[in-house]
Amino acid sequence: MILEVEGLTKQFGGLAAVSDLKFNVIEGEILGLIGPNGAGKSTVFNLLTGVITPTKGKVSYKGKNITGKRQHEVAKLGIGRTFQLNPLFPNFTVLQNVVASFQLRPSSGFSDTFFNTKKYRDHEKHIQEQSLEILKMVGLYKVRNELANSQPHGYQKMLGIARALAVKPDLLLLDEPIAGMNPDEIDNTLEVIQKTQASGVSIVLVEHNMRIMELCNRVVVINFGQKIAEGTPKEIRENKEVVRAYLGGAYDTER
Amino acid sequence: MSNERISTNISSWNRNYQFIIYAALIVVLALIPVFISSPFIIHICILTLVYIIATTSLRLVMTSGQFPLAHAAFMGIGAYSSAMLSKYWGWSPWLTIPIGAILAMGLGVFIGFPFSKLRTFYYAMVSVFFGAGIVQVIVAFGKYTGGSGGLAGIPTLFGAASKIPYFYFFLALAVVSVLIMYRLEFSRFGLNLKAIDQSYLVAGSIGINEARNRVIVLGIGCFFAGLAGAAYSAYNMGISPTNIDMTATLWLVLYVVVGGMGNFAGPIIGTIFLYMVPQFYRGLKEYTPFLTAALLFIVIFFIPKGIVSLPKLIWQKLKGRKTKREISQ
């Protein structure tokens, strides 16, 4: 188990955005977190990564309790994530976006930075090379020197993934990675996600596009902040309650 | 690929062009006392150098998305603490100037922690009142600080005979300070600050500690503000609360904005244009605010990226016209 979530609850005033949620992520798997609009999927991500603190519940990562840790601490433990909207630094170039995301290695000391020593320059050069490698992997190498906010939507989303990969995560949380992409871009993104999984990274995907379910080993369905089903993609597709949640009671398959 | 430059700034062309500007500026400035003997012009140059340290440090803080409207008050902390130590305890100004700067830095770090929770105009609002508070405290302790009339008779660095040694002292101080801040801006620390400014959520998600970086940069900014203020008091022999109040801060902000916030050279160019140039038509002194307001309007509407972007803007306009003509032919 790389990630264990138990009794996770977040209340905004009287409204429970997430209530008593329990799920696990097994090492090396892709877990899909799906649900209709407003089900609380993004809130779950924000709770896991310390953007907001849970009202109740416990989050363990690699057996360590990380509940209530701050965002940058969670990132340093090796949890990378993307954002649904505004996934990048708009005024940096594509390359700078990735270079800026390399924060994890013991970074150079102040005096090295200040006097621009060989150690500092080698360190930055190493980061640069690794960044270019990531950009090649996701297919953004050709636009590396262009401004991030001048890129089309699909590229920006992809850059969000590249940025998250620069954190060298063991667990990657992707918030609607293919939303608003064209079919070519979707194919490319799915390929990148598969490659990432093959390199040993566990992934949690939030999506309401059913196409992404092909990739998942397991799927957790939430609605109104509560888990309503869990299982393989096939099981989920045949689950009546899931269909009802997505299509409404009137379209029950029984009828 | 390995021969590609590590570009932590927007473009390397921009960097070279900035370097040439700085080098030329330093040489020209160092030659000023050789050709100009007027003490008034030397005086203006010295004050310009003081303001260059202050505005450059203000912009460094602003790159992290903070908008501190108490920067002149931090100059005041440096100036008053340094002046009082040398006046009442007889310490050498050479010692009290760095002490004043370090005290300003200490206060900057101290308020940096609560300030790191604030953003946008909440930050601006709280910092305005903090700056006003500092001025009020200085006025309230009039017995030691001279109150609203100001503190006079501060021991100086080189006596009052000639302004030339001061000029070289301030030139060296400004060059060293600006160089230090230049190195910081284009280091990974500077990159992290710009990342925080653009999106603190994304910055947090890649492991940048927002609060820590913001506190550090505020400390550094306040150090240089305090340094500028302390050195100024040891040159001017006097300091008064009107030098460090809200209006003084707004002038600093104005120099940065008019010069160009997005560029390291911005505050330097802005200070020269807005502080130095109006001094030479002092006969129009009462119209200076109006002329400045007019200039500000022009800058905001026609050159929103500041005076520093003007050459590039003109170049692009000329190029655009040329291409249009080529197309029509």
Chain B residues in contact with A72 by the CB 8 A cut-off are 204, 207-210
> In this structure, what CATH number is given to the domain that contains residue B180?
1.10.3470
- Closest to B74 in 3D by CA, of B203, B288, B270, B221: B221
Task: List pLDDT tens digits, range B209-240.
Answer: 899 999 999 999 999 999 999 999 999 888 88
Structure tokens at A248: 């409404």
Q: Give residue B4's pLDDT.
A: 40
B211 within a domain of the structure (yes/no):
yes
- Please report whether residue B300 resides in a domain: no
Among left, alpha and beta (phi > 0; psi -120 to 50; other), residue B326 is alpha
Q: Which pTM was predicted?
A: 0.86
Asked if residue B315 is part of any domain, the answer here is no
Q: What is the pLDDT of residues A146-176, one digit of tens each?
A: 999 899 988 999 999 999 998 889 999 998 8
Q: How far is the alpha carbon of A20 from chain B, nearest alpha carbon, in Å?
A: 25
Residue A216, SS3?
coil
Name the residue among A75, A96, A125 with its Cβ closest to that of B206: A75
Report the complex ipTM: 0.86
pLDDT score recorded for residue B141? 87
Asked, for residue B296, whether it belongs to a domain, the answer is no
Answer yes or no: is B326 within a domain.
Answer: no
Whether B229 maps to a domain, the answer reads yes
B198–chain A nearest CA distance, Å: 6
At A215, give phi and psi (nearest 5°).
-80, -25
- Cβ–Cβ contact A66 with B under 8 A: no
Based on the number of CB atoms within 10 Å of its own CB, is B109 exposed (0-12), middle (13-18) or buried (19 or more)?
A: middle
Which residues have C-beta within 8 Å of that of residue A248, sequence separation ≥ 6? none
Say whether B195 and A76 touch across the interface (CB within 8 A): no
Q: Given CB atoms, is B288 within the 8 Å cutoff of chain A?
A: no
B147-179 confidence digits (pLDDT tens): 888 888 888 888 777 888 899 999 999 999 998
The Cα angle at residue B135 between residues B131 and B140, in degrees rounded to 5: 140
At residue B71, the pLDDT reads 92
pLDDT of residue B326: 62
Whether the pLDDT of residue B5 is over 60: the answer is: no
Amino acid identity for residue B258 in this structure: V
Q: At A113, is the pLDDT very low, low, confident or very high (cuts 50, 70, 90)?
A: low
Chain A residues inside the 8 Å CB shell of B6: 121, 124-125, 128
Query: Are B188 and A101 inside 8 Å of each other by CB?
Result: no
CB contact under 8 A, B206 and A70: no
**In this structure, which topology does domain A3-251 adopt according to CATH?**
Rossmann fold (3.40.50)
**Nearest CB partner across the interface for A113, out of B6, B187, B199:** B187
Domain assignment present for residue B1? The answer is no
- Of the candidates B83, B86, B91, B98, the residue with the CA atom closest to the CA atom of residue B243: B83
A242 and chain B: CB distance < 8 Å anywhere? no
| Domain-embedded: residue B101 | yes
Check A167 against B207: CB less than 8 A apart: yes
d(CA B240, CA B45): 20
Between the alpha carbon of residue B95 and those of residues B80, B100, B159, B234, the distances in Å are 14, 9, 16, 11
Yes or no, beta carbons of B6 and A104 under 8 Å apart: no
Number of structural domains in chain B: 1
| A154: region left, alpha or beta (phi > 0 left; psi from -120 to 50 alpha) | alpha
Cα–Cα distances in Å, from B125 out to A60, B69, B246, B256?
A: 40, 8, 12, 19
Residue type, B295: L
Domain ranges of chain A: 3-251
Q: Which residues contact B103 (CB under 8 A, 6 or more apart)?
A: B77, B78, B81, B226
Given CB atoms, is A131 within the 8 Å cutoff of chain B?
no
Asked if the C-beta of B1 comes within 8 angstroms of chain A's C-beta atoms, the answer is yes
Enter the DSSP assignment of A147: B
Q: Do A121 and B183 touch (CB under 8 A)?
A: no
Contacts of B4 in chain A (CB under 8 A): 128, 132
